[in-house]
Amino acid sequence: MKVTVLGSSSALPTSERFPSAHVLNAHERLYLIDCGEGTQMQMRKNKVRFGKINHIFISHLHGDHVFGLYGLLSTFNLMGRNSPVHLYAPANYHEMMLSHLSDFDIHLGFEIDFIALSGENSVRILDDKYLTVTSFPLDHRVSAYGFLFREKPSLRNIRKEAIEQYEIPSVRIPAIKKGEDFIAKDGSVIKNGEITIPGPKQLSYAYCSDTKYFSRLPGFIKDTDLLYHEATFDKSLSELASMTGHSTTIDAARIAREAGAGALLIGHFSARYRDINALVNEARSVFLQTFPAIDGRTYEVGNISEP
Amino acid sequence: MKVTVLGSSSALPTSERFPSAHVLNAHERLYLIDCGEGTQMQMRKNKVRFGKINHIFISHLHGDHVFGLYGLLSTFNLMGRNSPVHLYAPANYHEMMLSHLSDFDIHLGFEIDFIALSGENSVRILDDKYLTVTSFPLDHRVSAYGFLFREKPSLRNIRKEAIEQYEIPSVRIPAIKKGEDFIAKDGSVIKNGEITIPGPKQLSYAYCSDTKYFSRLPGFIKDTDLLYHEATFDKSLSELASMTGHSTTIDAARIAREAGAGALLIGHFSARYRDINALVNEARSVFLQTFPAIDGRTYEVGNISEP
């Protein structure tokens, strides 16, 4: 899995930073998370393939997370799309969106499958071949949700020597990869653990924006490999952060530490910061594996290193 | 007067071309015409000063002309704006816009002075110190309006020699510049034409997008110095143009010729065209002074030359 940042600004974009949008690539399927103004232009610039996006997740209904959606849907339409778009957004958005599309004379030639986000707990909202996705509440000025993308358990790998040693027929291999034991010719049971090794680690990516420090968050995203958490403000502005429903660098880093995250990506930076190194350094004082979200950069989940 | 193109694409933006938006600079006052998605980012990139924009003109309610408006208004808000924005848009947009702003939890700290566009004729919609602006109907799939920005008559310049010759006191100069005659000490009347020369030429800029070929247009924009007219398609696609309410290169050039325009700027190019030189050449076969709208480029009204 890898995630490409298309926008890392908060509400006020700068010449370097567009508003929020991430694209998660999991097994060559693309998942768009938030869709701030200009997302479709950033997709073109970064060669993100429009036809590969079937799922769009909108964290909340503030413009810097959703103003790019109508343009993107219009573009899908103009490109002749006919496969459905699965749209995950706060429940009250469904009717609103249909009315906005109609106001702007947009008649989609494809279906929007609307999945309403709601509730005070973690909810599984998607379960496909490779991933499960759960949504969970954040603590912002309006209803807002985070998302956890978790790879499904991968198949175990059979040791080559075991295949020879126990004369395992190929027809049995799929079951063994799934964890079954093997019954040898002489009737003896060979424990799965003796003939297989674990497959690749299941990775997970958590997206948390916008939110103030929220003590329930670590419970929703325990041990995630990569946590994206907003850090709109530096630590000196914690009151402003709290007042506006946002986090400081330290808030984000605390969540990463408490969740046992593998790495932390911070973004949604206030336009007041030209140089974001200071923000990263603040977060690192609490959580060392912190990296900045930068427009157009791709981060490998489970394997982020200093650029 | 000069006009900066912030977006020259039609509905489907490309990596080179953002959707429609122009900024007219007239005597250091800025007038924003259309506001497609990403306009505020293009403004930042091209160092257009947000605080100098007090008038926004929306030609029609298709997304590629208006999806950038909410982001821009939000940004004005975040920048602490308190002076009103005068918004000129089709009449039915007023209520719609207020409802959209409320849907997205946007509470503006400044007033929107909404001026409704309507009617089948040329209407004066703005009259300020330097300019008059008229709107006029276009022929598109939905109600759409063009705009003509015309400089007010400038003051005449008094010839220096005349001041000496007739001993004109400085207190009389403002009236003479406005065209009054001068009564000399001996009571003789000196005709204004004898002591002044005309001031700078009054320039005008016309913006026509989106529209199919519309025979009434030249009458609305007679002798304009610079005409921006959409040319979504090349001449081979005239049926598609007509069906979708758009113009070909030839349509745009005919309007320029019939209006007696000084120069023609074409834009709103379909994403199918990578190289727009062929489009410009087509238009030049009918109207020689044709130039392409290019994102980020500024054109001097009354003095466009090949870049």
Q: Among residues of chain B, what percentage have pLDDT more than 90?
A: 95
Residue of A nearest to B44 (CA): A15
Q: Per the CB < 8 Å rule, is B12 touching A141?
A: no
**Is any Cβ of chain B less than 8 angstroms from the Cβ of A141?**
yes
Looking at chain B, how many residues does it have? Answer: 307
pLDDT digits (tens, 9 = 90+) for B76-96: 999 999 999 999 999 999 999
- Per-residue DSSP letters for A163-176? HHHTT--GGGHHHH
pLDDT at position A50 over 70: yes
Task: Give residue limits of the domains in chain B.
Answer: 2-154+200-300, 157-196
What are the chain B neighbours of A19 within 8 Å (beta carbons)?
71
Residue of chain A whose alpha carbon sits nearest to that of B12: A75
Please tell me the distance from the alpha carbon of residue A297 to that of residue A274, in angstroms, as a whole number. 18
Is the Cβ of A108 closer than 8 Å to some Cβ of chain B? no
In this predicted model, what pLDDT tens digit does every residue of A192-213 receive, in sequence order? 999 999 988 899 999 999 999 9
Substitution target from A12, A43, A61 for chain B, most B beta carbons within 10 A: A12
Report, as an integer, the average pLDDT of B16-44. 97
Question: What is the distance in angstroms between the Cα of B264 and the nearest Cα belonging to chain A?
Answer: 27
Amino acid B220: pLDDT:
98
Please confirm, yes or no, whether A64 is among the known catalytic residues. yes
**Predicted TM-score of the model (pTM):** 0.92
- What CA–CA distance (Å, rounded) separates A255 from A278? 19
Average pLDDT of the segment spanning B264-270: 98
Does the pLDDT at position B307 exceed 80? Answer: no
**Interface A:B, Cβ pairs < 8 A:** 92
Q: Which CATH number fits domain B2-154+200-300: 3.60.15.10, 3.10.310.40, 3.40.50.720, 1.10.340.30?
A: 3.60.15.10
Whether residue A227 has pLDDT greater than 80: yes
Hey, is the C-beta of A51 within 8 angstroms of any chain B C-beta?
A: no
- What pLDDT was estimated at residue A307? 52
The share of chain A scoring above pLDDT 70, in percent, equals 99
Mark which residues 142-201 of B lie under 8 Å from A by CB.
Answer: 142
Q: pLDDT at residue A133 above 90? A: yes
Q: Where are the beta strands (DSSP E) in B20-130?
A: 21-26, 29-33, 53-57, 85-90, 112-117, 123-127
Show the CA angle centred on residue A120, arms to residues B105 and A127, nearest 5°: 100
Mean pLDDT within A227-234 = 98
B75: contact with A, CB 8 A cutoff: yes
Q: Give the H/E segment covering residue A117.
A: strand A112-117
